Amino acid sequence: MSIVMTGGGTGGHLAIIKAVKEHLANEELIYVGSTKGQDKQWFEEDSDFKQKYFFETRGVVNQGVLGKVKSLFMMAKAMFQAIKILRKHKAKVVFSVGGFSAAPMAFAAKLAGTPLVIHEQNAALGSLNKLLKPYATHFISSYLEESPIKAYPIKQIFFDNAHLRKEVQTIIFLGGSQGAKAINNLALELAPTLKDKGIKIIHQAGVNNIEEVQKAYETLGIEAEVFGFTTKLAAYMNEADFAIARAGASTLWELSATAVPTLYIPYPYAAKDHQFYNAQFLVEKNLAWLMRENEIEVSRVVRLVDEDLQSMSQGLMEIVEKDGSQKIAKLLTQM
């Protein structure tokens, strides 16, 4: 019997699957995602999965009327394919991390009577996960008191890298692999001040912005390590003493597990403003800072860089529970 893992579209969703599957080495794993988004980039060549399926699907939100109809038709077609996959591989459980990639298999699980375990990454529930929550065998969220598992599933390396930050010697800007214009602009505005303070800059500018941002640093006469997509994120976070980042769930919990004090600048157009609420969860515990894009003040950010970071770094080490991915994997094997 197999464990089917589904969902994705974005790195935040896919990072959950990557973390959990590390603890399922003795299980037959099947991945089901979409041809859209980042699914194939992450898992098409992943040998941990016995078989991978990528459906021709796309999101329903932000589509016009005809676009929504076409998206729903594609989803319905994929759902019947998903039922065949469940039967072919004798699936004992479907693990869904949400996103439009998860919809066909998640609905197929309910139609086929296969247990469905859902992980919600964000403080504000995604539309699909909210719809399916009443039908899930287990619904996991680090933000919900009733969740059977509160620890967020991230790779052990982030916990292994945790150490106290006392002063800023290295700063990391994280706009995601696609980049964030507001964070890129802020980084370049701060760069001369950071140079004067002797602070090293690591900057995830986004795959489409690398050349432009690199040239801007060169014009300023400032050295910076600039990249887009990377497999070395854990190492970069480990080197950093302070971060300025979007507030996607995986980024937020990875920085927290590594004990990096962070100023979060949420993506303003995220569904249900979930990035704001993700960051607010930590801000309410005095474990992070938060600025909307339209509230960015360079002088205020400079003051944060000069603060004593030790108490916040220590607090992050104490609040983030370990073994989330291992606990989820154990739950799946017991289904």
Q: How confident is the model over 218-229, as pLDDT tens digits? A: 999 999 999 998
DSSP β-ladder status, 200-204 and 2-6: unpaired
pLDDT at 44 over 90: yes
Between 75 and 240, the more confident residue is 240
In this structure, the answer to whether residues 72 and 101 fall within a common structural domain is yes
In this structure, the answer to whether residues 213 and 132 fall within a common structural domain is no
In this structure, the answer to whether residues 164 and 313 fall within a common structural domain is yes
Count the domains in the chain. Answer: 2
Confidence bin at 20 (pLDDT 50/70/90): very high
User: pLDDT averaged over the chain?
Assistant: 92
In this structure, the answer to whether residues 209 and 279 fall within a common structural domain is yes
In this structure, the answer to whether residues 162 and 311 fall within a common structural domain is yes
Model pLDDT, residue 43: 94
In this structure, the answer to whether residues 206 and 294 fall within a common structural domain is yes
Between 14 and 245, the more confident residue is 245
Model pLDDT, residue 256: 97
Between 11 and 233, the more confident residue is 233
Model pLDDT, residue 286: 94
Model pLDDT, residue 57: 78
Between 126 and 263, the more confident residue is 263
In this structure, the answer to whether residues 175 and 291 fall within a common structural domain is yes
Confidence bin at 62 (pLDDT 50/70/90): low
Query: Which of 67-81, 225-239, 301-315 shows the lowest per-residue confidence on average (mean pLDDT)?
Result: 67-81
In this structure, the answer to whether residues 101 and 184 fall within a common structural domain is no
pLDDT at 58 over 80: no
Model pLDDT, residue 125: 87
Average pLDDT of the residues in 236-249: 97
Average pLDDT of the residues in 67-72: 74
Domain span including residue 212: 157-319
pLDDT at 11 over 80: no
Q: What percent of the chain has a predicted confidence (pLDDT) above 70?
A: 98
pTM above 0.85, yes or no: no
Average pLDDT of the residues in 204-218: 94
Average pLDDT of the residues in 258-273: 94
Model pLDDT, residue 247: 95
Confidence bin at 13 (pLDDT 50/70/90): confident
Model pLDDT, residue 270: 87
Average pLDDT of the residues in 39-55: 94
Average pLDDT of the residues in 158-165: 95
In this structure, the answer to whether residues 144 and 269 fall within a common structural domain is no
Q: What is the CATH number of the domain that holds 265?
A: 3.40.50.2000
In this structure, the answer to whether residues 144 and 210 fall within a common structural domain is no
Model pLDDT, residue 230: 87
pLDDT at 92 over 70: yes
In this structure, the answer to whether residues 312 and 218 fall within a common structural domain is yes
In this structure, the answer to whether residues 166 and 85 fall within a common structural domain is no
Between 322 and 96, the more confident residue is 96
Confidence bin at 61 (pLDDT 50/70/90): low
Model pLDDT, residue 66: 74
